[in-house]
Structure 1
Amino acid sequence: MADQQQAPGPRVRVRGKERKNPTPKAGRNLPAATAVGLAMLFAVLGGLLFMPLAFVLIVTVFAIFGVWEVFRALEASGTRLPIIPAMTGTVAMPLAAYFGGPESLLFALLLSSVAVLLWRSLEGAAGSARSIYAGVFTLAWVPFLISFAVLPLHASGGVTPIGPWPGGVVPVGAWQIGTLLLLVVSNDTFGYLVGASLGKHPMAPKISPKKSWEGFGGSIAGAVLVGVLASIFVLGQPWWFGAALAVGMVAAATAGDLAESMVKRELGIKDMGNGLPGHGGVMDRLDSIVFASPVAFMIFSAGAGG
């Protein structure tokens, strides 16, 4: 999630002349970040609308890289989680959610947690408690939560083993996921724009000092606008459903971003990785989505039930 308050970048001197540094103070190269973000968004939406199993595999790949980054960060701090059972569970959970629904997802989390416990128990007692806690925490944080982004496909009965959607008809679950992603991007974009220009009051200075209440307000305003339009023209729901969904997404995305910031501060690192130019690591992009996905699924389920 983008920082919601950024001062203009520092000036540097080149051959006796002063020019503006293209990278803002927060360390984010905005052109690179925009290009990478759009490329990922188009890849995800392309799979979602035209090749659903490809979308599930993309989600799985993101989860794998996210878990690997957490593993490396924890290892650098002296905690080594059992990576083999953790990665096995990471691959299994999105597929379980797609083909089996919520019950299968919960069962996959349970089996993965037991596998972590047994695997680590066989390696000896030294440091086992921290290792097991770290493994179960990582499974619940990354692959379990992000798998909720797949559940609407199963809930709407749109599951197809391979190939495009049968008859070329995109199910409502796919449009729900697309709306979720659009709202997370809107939260990020509007929060960054408003916070960068107007942000003066930090939300949580001890956790993420660059996030401001002004940026948070910009996120809500922009996301509500996008949510209302998406609700009416994409989901076929009343306008107030889109407004409620948008507020829920902004709250969840902000909580996810702050939660990852707390983890990074505890580990003494700035980014979880450096694989995405302008973004840091994969987890620095997933932090909002992993919290927003279960909230969106619950809101969509409540809306369908109503």
Structure 2
Amino acid sequence: MPAHEVPASAASPEPTPEQPAASKAGRNLPAAIGVGSALGLGVILVLVYAPMVWVGVVAAAIAIATWEVTKRLGEAGIAVPRIPLLLGGQAIIWLGWPYGATGGLGAFAGTALVCMVWRLFDHGLAATPRNYLRDTAVTLFVAAWIPLLASFATLMVQQEDGAGRVFVLMIGVVCSDIGGYVAGVLFGKHPMVPRISPKKSWEGLGGSLVFAIIGSVLTVTLILDGNPWVGVLVGIMLVLTGTIGDLIESQVKRDLKIKDMGTLLPGHGGLMDRLDSLLPSAFATWLVLTALL
């Protein structure tokens, strides 16, 4: 998810008639705003009128994101056992409903074991597996990266004021993204990690912190009736984990030599390109709110 970015060079080539003009930060801004608004409205309606439907929304999202990532890995020659990974991801999400964190962690362990065995024999009992260690390591990385981290978003909705807790997460991430985008485009001059994500700037990071802290303080106090200092901590954690999540996906895409994980969402890329900062932020928000509220 692009945030706190350095403006693109003025020497960049003009877009062709077939390609919509991108913003200074490299987005097709009208498409990005339209898609983001539609997704946000859908989340609001679910959380207000049917909070437990959120579990199904997350389950569908991680299935699509996992498919996108495994497809890209397959194109790079990495043999990830897609079927047990997809089914295991669903188990991680849905077993958290009746059994809480224990169910999710148990399903993750089971998924890891099944994937290791599947990769061992996916070419038959007589064949010798190739790149077994690499492929299983990447598989476990994907299982932890997508369904395990996403499961904390579903654990939150089952808690007291669960819908409100998810609102704190979503609004905080949106505020961080908006603050980083605005500050990065207007003031971004000093790249933060140019070898991984050259458009990210320290000025944008500052904008993310300001917006995320303000948004989190307001949501924690007004929605959850919590201490404002909890909101400050949530805002800081959301920016740190969101930035880390964004950088992780950027490095994965660099390793795979691709620009986006998919093309499902105009202006954003694939669904995974939208979830990159949300996944670690879900865990951070769950941890802070569970410990302090």
TM-score by length of 2: 0.92
Matching residue of 1:54:
53
Q: 1:232·1:239 contact (CA, 8 Å) conserved in 2?
A: yes
Q: Distance in 2 between the 1:13 and 1:289 partners?
A: 31
2:167 corresponds to 1:178: yes
Q: Secondary structure at the match of 1:117?
A: helix
CA positional deviation for 1:201: 0.5
Distance 1:14 1:105, change over 3 A: closer
Aligned length: 285
Q: Distance in 2 between the 1:94 and 1:105 partners?
A: 6
The residue type paired with residue 154 of structure 1 is Q
- Of 257, 261, 276 in structure 1, the residue corresponding to residue 246 of structure 2 is 257
Matching residue of 1:154:
158
Distance 1:299 1:67, change over 3 A: same
Q: 1:23·1:29 contact (CA, 8 Å) conserved in 2?
A: yes
Q: Distance in 2 between the 1:252 and 1:13 partners?
A: 33
Matching residue of 2:199:
210
Q: 2:184·2:204 contact (CA, 8 Å) conserved in 1?
A: yes
CA positional deviation for 1:102: 0.5
Q: Distance in 2 between the 1:43 and 1:94 partners?
A: 20
Matching residue of 1:143:
147
Matching residue of 2:4:
4
2:235 corresponds to 1:246: yes
Structure 2 spans left out of the alignment, 5+ residues: none
Matching residue of 1:75:
74
Q: Residues 41-77 of structure 1, C-alpha deviation per residue, up to 9 Å, x if partnerless? A: 1112221221133211111111011111111111111
Distance 1:11 1:135, change over 3 A: closer
CA positional deviation for 1:5: 2.0
Matching residue of 2:187:
198
Matching residue of 1:42:
41
The residue type paired with residue 117 of structure 2 is L
Q: Residues 98-135 of structure 1, C-alpha deviation per residue, up to 9 Å, x if partnerless? A: 22210000001011111101111112412322221121
Q: Distance in 2 between the 1:14 and 1:51 partners?
A: 44
CA positional deviation for 1:26: 4.6
Q: Distance in 1 between the 2:89 and 2:280 partners?
A: 17
CA positional deviation for 1:137: 1.1
CA positional deviation for 1:141: 0.5
Q: Residues 173-228 of structure 1, C-alpha deviation per residue, up to 9 Å, x if partnerless? A: 11011110000011111100110010001110100010000000000001111111
Q: 1:231·1:241 contact (CA, 8 Å) conserved in 2?
A: yes
Q: Distance in 1 between the 2:73 and 2:85 partners?
A: 13
The residue type paired with residue 79 of structure 1 is I
Overall identity of the aligned pairs, in %: 37
Matching residue of 1:106:
105
Q: Distance in 1 between the 2:169 and 2:15 partners?
A: 43
Q: Secondary structure at the match of 2:192?
A: strand
Q: Secondary structure at the match of 1:81?
A: coil
Q: Distance in 2 between the 1:63 and 1:147 partners?
A: 9
RMSD (Å) for aligned C-alpha atoms: 1.9
Q: Distance in 2 between the 1:284 and 1:148 partners?
A: 19
Distance 1:151 1:294, change over 3 A: same
Q: Distance in 2 between the 1:14 and 1:91 partners?
A: 42
Q: Distance in 2 between the 1:49 and 1:150 partners?
A: 15
Name whichever of 287-296 and 44-53 sits farther off.
44-53
Q: Distance in 2 between the 1:54 and 1:154 partners?
A: 11
Q: Distance in 2 between the 1:55 and 1:87 partners?
A: 19
Q: 2:25·2:181 contact (CA, 8 Å) conserved in 1?
A: no
Q: Secondary structure at the match of 1:210?
A: strand
Matching residue of 1:164:
none
Structure 1: which 4+ aligned runs deviate by more than 3 Å?
8-15
Matching residue of 2:273:
284
Q: Distance in 1 between the 2:15 and 2:109 partners?
A: 56
CA positional deviation for 1:259: 0.8
Q: Distance in 2 between the 1:222 and 1:25 partners?
A: 20
Q: Secondary structure at the match of 1:209?
A: strand
Q: Residues 159-186 of structure 1, C-alpha deviation per residue, up to 9 Å, x if partnerless? A: xxxxxxxxxxxxx111011110000011
Q: 1:2·1:189 contact (CA, 8 Å) conserved in 2?
A: no
The residue type paired with residue 147 of structure 1 is S
